[in-house]
Amino acid sequence: MKLVTDKGYFVAEAARNLGIHVNLLRTWKRKLAAAVAEEQDLTEEERMELARLRAENKRLRMERDILKKATAFFASEKP
C-alpha cells in the first residue's frame, strides 16, 4: 500500500509491480481507508487502549514464534 499511499503510484501500476490483481489492491486500499477513518473517530482513551492491545498482540506473536522454533528444534533432536 505504501507504493500507492506514500510513493504516489497508481493502483494498477503498483499491482503490476507486485504481481497481484488490481482489484485485490483496490480492496486493500478501501479497507485501509476505512480503518483510518474509523481510527480518527476514536477518543484518546480508545486510542491508548488500541495501542496497548496492538503492542500486546505483537508481543504474543513473537512469543508464539519463539515457541514454534523451540518446538521444532527439540523435535528434530535425536535421542
For the stretch 13-27, pLDDT in tens is 888 888 989 899 899
Domain count for the chain: 2
15 with 32, same domain?
yes
CA 5 to chain centre: 15
- Say how far apart CA 64 and CA 26 lie, in whole Å: 32
Note whether 78 and 70 are within 8 A (CB): no
Say whether both 47 and 62 belong to one domain: yes
**Residues contacting 70, CB < 8 A, separation 6+:** none
Distance of CA 72 to the CA centre of its chain: 25
Query: Which pLDDT score, from 0 to 100, does residue 55 have?
Result: 97
CA–CA dist 1, 10 (Å, integer): 11
Banded pLDDT at 38 (limits 50, 70, 90): confident
In this structure, the answer to whether residues 47 and 69 fall within a common structural domain is yes
